[in-house]
Structures are given as structure tokens and as C-alpha cells.
Amino acid sequence: MFTNVGDKFFSLRSELDYRTSCWQHGKKLPKLAASDRVILDSIKRDGIHITNLTELGLNSTSQLLNSAYSLLPSMGTANYRSSTQNPPEIYIVTDLPAFYNWGREQRLFNIIENYIGLPVAYHGVHLRKDFANTEQFQTLLWHRDIEDRRVLKIIVYLNDVEEKHGPFEYVPISLISRSQAYRIKRQIKNLGGIDDQTLNKIVPKSAWKSCPGPAGTVIFADTRRILHHGTLRTEERSTLFFVYTANPPKRPELCTHYWDNTYPRPNLNREFDELKSPIREGMGLKEEGRAIVPVFAE
């Protein structure tokens, strides 16, 4: 009982500190161009904004794509068809400048800082290939991410994504009532994630919003606020995931898999010389200008 009261007090205190910090930081938020404000307003309102690389027009995009497309052929070379649950193949590419630098473009950071309302922690980048599956598991189940109060992911599609490639899918915030939200929370607490059949009984499939799109589609999503998953697919899907929270996040221990050894790094042989960074090893977080970024051992 005392622990319970202690926990409640701690959580109230931390909520109060969070709100105070947001209020204080509100005066320091960077100004945005009108087109970037459209992105911010849409993430604030809906928890999501969908655009594409051309529309964003960032200078480092061609380097990002050259690097991603040179690494993709080395992924998913095993025979994956034999199992009903094929987990994705993920490369940590956080310490490769072509990937890292795209995700720290100042315009992106300014949008994200305005959204999160606090100094930003940029946790890193995954290059990811998802395979055909017949059963829902891991992020194919409906869930909300739990690393922080706001978790902003930028997802870039590297191939055309139709229904058969398993697009990102979510339930619009405005279509979930309080009682539905309560039932969803309980199911996630009990099961970790919800399959399509179970969610359909709480929020009908007609309300779900799938996000197909051509290669180059860019999805800004607050994966904490929106109930989401990757749809079951019959064909491969290749993507990049860039991940940001406030600094420090509420659960920093859950944010390390963008730079620690949870997933492999690509095996860079001579062909990939231009991708190599002089600094390779993930070491934690440091402050750089307005933002907190992972640091790498020299």
C-alpha cells in the first residue's frame, strides 16, 4: 500500500515536472517555415503526417537513398518462407553519416522539437526489411510504443508499399472513444499487443487507416499517441525508421537498441567505403547544440 502511494506520488511529481519543463521550453522553441508548420499542425492534431522525400526537399536525401539502396541487397538473403513468424531483419545504421545526418537535418529537428515541446533526443536509425508472414507477432500486433510521453518516428518507404507489402496502419485518434481506449489499454496490458480479430471487436476495421504509398513516402508518426502496427504482408517491405523522444525520455533503457548491440550493423567491405564513419561505437547520449544525440567513441 505504501509503495502504491509512493508510486502515485512519484508519477504525479514527474508529470508536474514534465509540464513545467514544457511550459519553460515553450518560449525557446525554434520558428518554422509555413510549410513545416503544416507538418507540425498535422502531427499535433492527428498524431501523424504523411509526405514524401521530394516534397520535403532535404539536401542530404540523395546520399541517404544511395546508401540505403546499396545496403538493401545484403538483407533478407536467407530462405524465410518456412515459418509462419518471420521477424524483420534490422541493421543499425545510426553511426553511418549518410543515415545519421539525414535524421539530424535542422528543419526536421525544428519540427520535432516543436512537436515534443522539449529538447530532443535523437536515438538513431534502423534500416529494416520486413518479410511475408501469416501470423501476427511483435510489431505486427496493434500496440502503442512506450519509451516516452511522445515518441516521434519518421518512417521512409524504400519500395512501393501496397496492401501486399504490409503498410504502416493506425486508428485515427478521433475515432477511439474513451471506453474503447480503456478496453484497448486493458488488452495491451494483458497481452502485450492486439491481433486484428480482437481489435475488430473493439474498433471496427472500417475505422482503421492503412498507409500505402510509393517508394519515398515519409510518415511522421507519434507511435505513443496512435494505436498502430505493421500490416501482415505477403511481400517484402523495406524501410528506414528514425526515432526521437524528449531528452531525457521517460524510459531511456528502452531506447538503446538504435545504437547498442541488439541488432547487427551492416558488414561494410570495400564496396561501401563511402558509407563508413571514422567513429563507430555507440556510447550513450551527449548534448549537441539544441539537441541530444548519441555519441560515438573516437
47 to 1, 146, 172, 220: CA distances (angstroms) = 36, 15, 8, 8
CA–CA distance, 113 with 244 (Å, rounded to integer): 9
> How far from 119 is each of 17, 20, 298, CA to CA, in Å?
14, 13, 25
| Min dist. Cβ of residue 20 to ligand AKG (A) | 29
- Applying CB under 6 A, among 114, 223, 238, 245 the residue interacting with ligand AKG is 223
Output the residue with the shortest Cβ distance to ligand AKG.
Answer: 230
Q: Does 223 bind Fe ion (CB under 5 A)?
A: yes
Instruction: Work out whether 145 is an interface residue with Fe ion (CB under 5 A).
Output: yes
* For the chain, the helix, strand and coil percentages under 3-state DSSP, each to the nearest 5: 40, 25, 35
Site string for ligand AKG, 130-149 (x = CB under 6 A): ---------x-----x----
133: left (phi over 0), alpha (psi -120 to 50) or beta: beta
* Choices 5-13, 73-81, 174-182, 226-234 (CB under 6 A): range interacting with ligand AKG: 226-234
CA distance 52 to 211: 12
157 binds ligand AKG (CB under 6 A): no
Shortest Å distance, C-beta 153 to Fe ion: 8
165: contact with ligand AKG by CB under 6 A = no
Place of cell 477511439: 176
- Residue 168 as a binder of ligand AKG (CB under 6 A): the answer is yes
- Find the shortest distance in angstroms from Cβ 251 to ligand AKG: 14
- Residues in the site for ligand AKG, rule: CB under 6 A? 139, 145, 153, 168, 223, 228-230, 241
